[in-house]
Amino acid sequence: MTHPLKQLVDFYHPDTRGVDHAGRTLDEILNWSDDQLEQSHDYIQVLFPLPEPSDSSAPELNEDVIIYFRGDVQLREQVRRVLKRMLAFYGFDIAWHQEGPALEVEVTPLSENEQVFHRWLKYQDHNHLRISRIIRSLRVLGLSREAAAVHRAFVRINQSMGLVVSVTTVLYWFFRSADPLSRGLGGEPIEWLRKFD
């Protein structure tokens, strides 16, 4: 049986184009319709892995895999592809601009029409946990600029639309974007992650 973390790297890497626990390739999931992304609940853990346990099918990141993702240009570009697709699902576009030595990230609404945000702009919704996961996973994988831009975009739209999302959820997004990486989802310390803080 393939180790879950090797399977994750093979799934993500464009040279191997492996499959996830359900036999799906990355390109296959990225080509799903928005309805498929909404209705399926076992892919987000693979697209945005975490160092904490999620469920039996979700790979749990370790130090070696985080270092590998952070150091491999192709893997980082794949993460950006995944992020672009998921942001479109939530009503946003993302662009990267080279500003001198720095890479600037801009997340913008696909439309000013509130309907484009209907999958998450609610008081409570399962997509709120997905958004929290995306923010934390991006930071863990070394895409902190993307994580910050994503966080700002969701908060900005929520504010401009009248603070629809619960305060608890907005605070949770803030913690996922600002807490030390070594603070786990339940507040517990993850000592080996301190070197990435």
- Which is more confident, 85 or 17? 85
Q: What is the mean pLDDT of residues 84-109?
A: 93
pLDDT tens per residue, range 98-152? 877 888 999 999 998 889 999 999 999 999 999 999 999 999 999 999 999 999 9
Q: Inform me whether the pLDDT recorded for 78 exceeds 70.
A: yes
What pLDDT score was predicted for residue 56?
Answer: 61
Question: Nearest-5° angle of CA 4, CA 176, CA 39?
Answer: 60
Q: Which two tokens stand for residue 185?
A: 């989802």
Please, which residues have CB within 8 angstroms of residue 1's CB and are 6 or more apart in sequence?
Answer: none
pLDDT tens per residue, range 34-63? 999 999 989 999 999 999 987 666 788 999
